[in-house]
Structure 1
Amino acid sequence: MSEPASVARLTRDLTSALLPADLEAFYQDLHRHPELSFHEHRTAARLAERLKSAGYTVTEGVGRTGVVGVLANGDGPVVGLRGDMDALPVREATGLAYASTVDGVMHACGHDLHVTWLTAAAEILAAARETWSGTVVVIGQPAEESGGGAQTMVADGLHERFPRPDALFGQHAAPGLAGFYPHTPGLTMSAEVELDVVVHGVGGHGSRPESTVDPVVTAAHIVTRLQSVVAREVAAKDSAVLTVGQFHAGTRHNIIPAEARLALNLRTQDDSVRARVLAAVERIVRGECQAAGCPVPPEITVHPGFPNTVNDKALDEEIAAVHRELLGHDTVFDFGPTMGSEDFSLLAPAGVPYDYWYVTTTAADVWEAAPGDSLTEKFANVPGNHSPHFAPDLSVLVPGARTLVSAALSRLT
């Protein structure tokens, strides 16, 4: 481990020549051309091109559309840097001059920023080989939003085909006044599970409901009843979020359909809480279908999602100290665990420590104009991740590259 002050000084020196205009052009290009999960062909090609030019040995198509760049520079630790590349099925409403050109698809979660930061950090480290020894592994990951991207890269030999990291780093754009870098040692993000529910009814004409078993009404009762699970079956000291993200049924105004489909999302931080909520969901779904007289039992499919993201405490404290020296002591604080979920941790081989932090990205004028007097009130009123209005401030481009560079240098010898 290097001293935080020396790492901060070296990072400042190495990044002093960063050209904001170059980062802006690269970022805006990525933002204009968003790609959905496992379709990040253009984004991956742009990343691979820059890595090759910087001297990395680059492998494309890892885990379908993933990119891995390796820069071996003598003996020393192996450091992994990860950035996810996919966008979301969201129609952009920012009004930016560089808004998405793909209808209904938008970088609404900041992954275009992540790729820009990753690319800049990789280039800086490559240009400064004389200052460090070891190996840098750059990971451009597909399909974080839909899930499966990290697992697919691992299944495609990420840990066998490329150097095994001694430490893995990642970061995420977040709402909040630009210029802060929240770090949380230990548990920082929650586990996620997705469920699909099919309610089977008896379809028929809208004028004769008595001859049907209406799955729309049954599913509506399920949705309403599910709202009480967290409020009445999860202890106040525990955390859980249960969301009904989709409700699909019917084709015409006057047709009672034969089935209804629900898509649920569950976030928890404790295995026993997750088991309790899943049992409650199954009990409610089956109970409502039985009460409605559905002809066959409902189908309930549980899709394992992301595990908890648990930062290595010692590593996080080390990187947080470096970031304080680099970016200001008041800019780094413990935000605490969030209910967000990530597959980042799946990229770390067993026993390998990792650290994952945030970079706040809300422009100062947007923050000041947001309703509310307290930080919490303003935070709730600025566009956040997955919003069609999410528009990170360009001022975060250089600092976001510096956070990754300094993290890598803290481990490289």
Structure 2
Amino acid sequence: MPTAATAASLALDLTSGLKTRDLEELYQDLHRHPELSFQEHRTAGILAERLRSAGYAVTDGVGSTGVVGVLENGEGPVVWLRGDMDALPVTETTGLAYASTVDGVMHACGHDMHVTWLAFAAEALAAGRDAWSGTLVVIGQPAEEGGDGARAMVSDGLHTRFPRPDAVFGQHVAPGPAGLVSHTPGLIMSAADDLHVVVPGVGGHGSRPEATVDPVVTAAYIVTRLQSVVSREVAASEAVVLTTGQFNAGQRPNIIPSEARLGLNLRTQDAQVRERVLSAVRRIVEGECLAAGCPTEPEVNTGASFPATVNDAALDAEIAALHRELFGAQSVFDFGPAMGSEDFSLLVPTGVPYDFWFVASTPQAVWDAAPGEGLGAKITAVPGNHSSLFAPDLSVLLPGVRTLVGAALHRLGG
């Protein structure tokens, strides 16, 4: 296994011929043509064609729209590189010349950047295969946003149809001063659970509330009471976020509906805390419905679920050292665990070490103009992932390719 310095030097050599305009051309094309989860046909086709042209054996349609490219290059370790492909139902407001041309759909999370990084890293490693030996597997994953994509690929045989990895690498574009790379050993991203609550009632005319059981009032009590879970049932040292993101009920102002629906999102970093909060949510929903005299039991159903992302600490230390060699010691930092979530870890076979990191991408002028002092304060003030204003700086295109190439070379045999 090459040292961090050797892998960094090789990564620079293998990417030295990349042209900025080529990176920008692919990225801007993908940004103009975003596709929602499991609809990434155009994006997957572009990635698959580039991999085939570079010499990979490509399998299309893995887990619906996923792409897997395999490049066997002699004896040695197997490394997986993963990038996700889907966009979000967000209307773009960046005003960019290459803004989305699809109404109501935008690459607001930066997966267009991820595909660009992945494609050019795969091509650079293929062109420089004399510098390494082993097997490289490149994965274009669909539907990360809903938490279904990784599961779909695994269900479709990702772990059995393709070479088992010795290490798996992934990265995510994020807010922060462009050019910095965030590495966190161990827990780096939180678990997330969507909960769908149905509050039953007895509908009727707004003029006769006494003849009804109003689910809107009951649901409002539930939302209010849920605010006490984090503040009164979870230790201050535990990181938990519980959000009510949806409240739907009724069609007319003068009609009391027969049910109300809530959409909740829970973020946790400890499995026991997660179970405690889930139990509290169910208890509060059931208790408020009982107090209101609801005619039937409420429903609390689990939707999308993401596990925590927990980096292999030793592997993360190795890749962080490599990235310091690539970009300088001051360019790599540890921001700590994020409350955001990913399905990246679901792709990884049990027992295989993985490493996931962030590449900061906020344009310098935007960062300097943001209010507040310090990294944490400014990050909350600049457009971030899922914002209609999210616009990564194009200067991070080449560094993001090099982070992946370097990580792969660090594990592939020389």
- Calculate the TM-score normalised by the size of structure 1: 0.99
Match of 1:401 in 2: 401
What letter corresponds to residue 291 of structure 2 in structure 1? A
Match of 2:90 in 1: 90
Match of 1:356 in 2: 356
Match of 2:309 in 1: 309
Match of 2:281 in 1: 281
- Residue 295 (structure 1) shift: 0.9
- Alignment partner of 1:24: what SS? helix
Match of 1:175 in 2: 175
> Matches of residues 290-305 of structure 1 in structure 2 within 5 Å?
290-303=290-303, 305=305
2: distance between equivalents of 1:249 and 1:176?
39
1: distance between equivalents of 2:156 and 2:74?
26
Match of 1:25 in 2: 25
1: distance between equivalents of 2:190 and 2:249?
31
- Residue 302 (structure 1) shift: 2.2
- Alignment partner of 2:120: what SS? helix
- Residue 146 (structure 1) shift: 0.5
2:119 aligned with 1:119, yes or no? yes
Match of 1:208 in 2: 208
What letter corresponds to residue 146 of structure 2 in structure 1? S
Match of 1:220 in 2: 220
2: distance between equivalents of 1:332 and 1:7?
16
1: distance between equivalents of 2:2 and 2:335?
25
Match of 1:77 in 2: 77
1: distance between equivalents of 2:57 and 2:252?
56
Match of 1:109 in 2: 109
1: distance between equivalents of 2:276 and 2:177?
37
1: distance between equivalents of 2:88 and 2:304?
20
CA deviations on 1:233-252 (whole Å, 9 max, x unpaired) are 00011111111111111112
What letter corresponds to residue 241 of structure 1 in structure 2? V
Task: State, as a whole percentage, how many aligned pairs show the same letter.
Answer: 73
CA deviations on 1:306-339 (whole Å, 9 max, x unpaired) are 1111111111000000000001111111111111
2: distance between equivalents of 1:257 and 1:178?
50
Match of 2:149 in 1: 149
Match of 1:10 in 2: 10
- Residue 283 (structure 1) shift: 1.0
Match of 1:249 in 2: 249
CA deviations on 1:180-230 (whole Å, 9 max, x unpaired) are 100011111111122110000111112222221111111111111111110
Match of 2:260 in 1: 260
What letter corresponds to residue 404 of structure 1 in structure 2? L
Match of 2:336 in 1: 336
- Alignment partner of 2:181: what SS? coil
The more displaced of 295-304 and 229-238 is 295-304
The more displaced of 139-148 and 375-384 is 375-384
2: distance between equivalents of 1:398 and 1:302?
40
- Residue 304 (structure 1) shift: 6.1
- Alignment partner of 1:130: what SS? helix
CA deviations on 1:280-322 (whole Å, 9 max, x unpaired) are 1011111111111111111111246111111111110000000
1: distance between equivalents of 2:249 and 2:97?
38
2:34 aligned with 1:34, yes or no? yes
The more displaced of 320-329 and 8-17 is 8-17
What letter corresponds to residue 324 of structure 2 in structure 1? R
2: distance between equivalents of 1:274 and 1:356?
22
- Alignment partner of 1:144: what SS? coil
- Alignment partner of 1:112: what SS? helix
Match of 1:236 in 2: 236
2: distance between equivalents of 1:50 and 1:146?
26
- Alignment partner of 1:247: what SS? strand
CA deviations on 1:151-170 (whole Å, 9 max, x unpaired) are 11011011111111110000
2: distance between equivalents of 1:281 and 1:320?
39
2:377 aligned with 1:385, yes or no? no
- Calculate the TM-score normalised by the size of structure 2: 0.98
Aligned length: 413
RMSD, matched Cα: 0.9
- Alignment partner of 1:305: what SS? strand
CA deviations on 1:32-65 (whole Å, 9 max, x unpaired) are 1111111111110111111111111111000000
What letter corresponds to residue 58 of structure 1 in structure 2? V
Instruction: Name structure 1 gaps, 5 residues minimum.
Output: none
Match of 1:189 in 2: 189
CA deviations on 1:346-399 (whole Å, 9 max, x unpaired) are 111111100000000100011011112322221110001111111100000000
- Alignment partner of 1:99: what SS? coil
2: distance between equivalents of 1:19 and 1:208?
71
2: distance between equivalents of 1:344 and 1:310?
10
1: distance between equivalents of 2:351 and 2:376?
36
- Alignment partner of 1:138: what SS? strand
Match of 1:345 in 2: 345
What letter corresponds to residue 323 of structure 1 in structure 2? H
2: distance between equivalents of 1:368 and 1:223?
38
Match of 1:370 in 2: 370
- Alignment partner of 1:52: what SS? helix
